[in-house]
Amino acid sequence: MKINILKYAHFFVLAIILTSCSQDFLDKSPESQLAAGSLTTASDAESILNGAYNAMPDYYSYSNFFTTEGMSDNTYINGDNNVEQPLENFTFTSSNGEIQLSWQELYKHITAANTAIDNVTLINDPKWDGTNRKAQIIAEATFLRAFAYYWLVTSWGNVPLILSSNNAGNYYPSRTSADLVYAQIIKDLKDAEAVLDNNPYHGDYGRATKGAARALLAKTYAQMGDYPNCLIYCNKVIEEGPYTLVSDYSKLWGLSNKNTSESIFELQVPTTGSPYNVWKINVLSYGPFDNWPKRQIGSYDLVKAFNDAGDNGKRYKSTFNWQVTGASFNMPFNAWNPTQAIPFCGKFSYSDTWTNGDNLIMIRLADIILLAAEANVQLGKLPEATIQLNKIRTRAGLANTTATTKSDLALAVLKERRLELVYERTRWNDLKRADANGTINMVNLMNSQVNSSLQPLNYGMQSFHKLLPVPLGDIQINKNLLPNNTGY
């Protein structure tokens, strides 16, 4: 059977959205289905690219959170389900449904991007004469492919590297080494950077841009431990723009604050169609929704980190939405009664609707500034790192850092990234980098976590848990995915 990863090619072709380009290019309804081989016009090319963008929100609005923030020291996963909770306490196996969903969603995105690249390459429409739009469409799709592979390789390590919509008839691909996957991500992003403009095509927010390619290059090099190149691309983003920090942290969030000057890559979420905003209701829910349990709340360790930093201003208030019943709550604190005060995520809007239209910020300038600070620390450029760290602390209303040594500054940057970027899917990869460069011991940190009553959680994390297992369901279809990652 020609299924497994490549089955998503068929899904994509049937589900692709045929729409024209406009400022709300993702806020569209399906108009018709695509017949294989029917792509001949510039309009078709825009439509198939839009389909590649539309493939993204389902994963990044749900499963991506469980395998990043949910596995980190930032959250607790509540409820009694046997799918997400094992991700928090490190009892998950290769049969975990959330892990399989993540894997399959990402390959669906890759198939969508490959389908766009392959088909648009063959289109020659006179409407493109005198423009570079065809090259831009291919560059945007190439960026989207790299974006999906970034999450695959950082989550699983060795993964199948599929670069065409039919994969040359290889329906049961083997896993490619992480080094080669990273190399392909770098190539794709540099190719995209060379073609894309600083501003999104046609003023359409949410499209890949030169800055987005550079930012993802910086993040990719960081995960590779290549801090010289990471710093090069951080500086390109910071110095060549066109991004600026939003002066008021609280103005980064909510339906009235979409696509700010700080946003580098932001998924445009429609108010119709698939339930893209389910994460803000059932993953980060402020109370139950349709009888769903409260899925993830801020951990004691996270709230204590804000408390220890003296961060109780707009950043703190934007991060948490406290549900208080029968008790008052003020900082500082030592513990809280979970029946009286619960710290839910406050960054994102809460609504009774599955699709409230709140965008997903994937990369923003503060992330890159702090990543530059991290790179400068690792390269021994401590004064530069201090300036960048203090820029973010100043906006948060905090005093300049007192850290002066390399080890202290490395830890200070890691802590600041946590406070600044909590719930933005960065913490798990941050911890892995910090473990790799000796800033922390990730296993010890996770196994020292306590619950809201200060009782040990006894997670039992081991080093192999830094990578997820290849899903058992996919292995049963494709034995070439073996051997699985160590420990599974």
The predicted pLDDT at position 336 comes to 45
pLDDT in tens, 61-82: 778 888 998 899 998 876 556 7
Residues of the chain with pLDDT under 70: 1-37, 78-81, 270-296, 320-358
Spatial CA neighbour of 314 closest among 246, 238, 372, 374:
246
Query: What are the structural domains of the chain?
Result: 4-226+467-481 (1.25.40.390)
The answer to whether 290 and 438 are in contact (CB under 8 A) is no
pLDDT in tens, 225-251: 999 999 999 999 999 989 999 999 989
CA angle 157, 416, 303 (to 5 degrees): 95
The predicted pLDDT at position 240 comes to 95
Spatial CA neighbour of 22 closest among 46, 56, 52, 54:
46
What are residue 400's phi and psi, to 5 degrees?
-60, 150
What are residue 6's phi and psi, to 5 degrees?
-75, -5
What are residue 283's phi and psi, to 5 degrees?
-95, -45
The predicted pLDDT at position 326 comes to 44
The predicted pLDDT at position 306 comes to 85
The predicted pLDDT at position 271 comes to 59
The predicted pLDDT at position 289 comes to 34
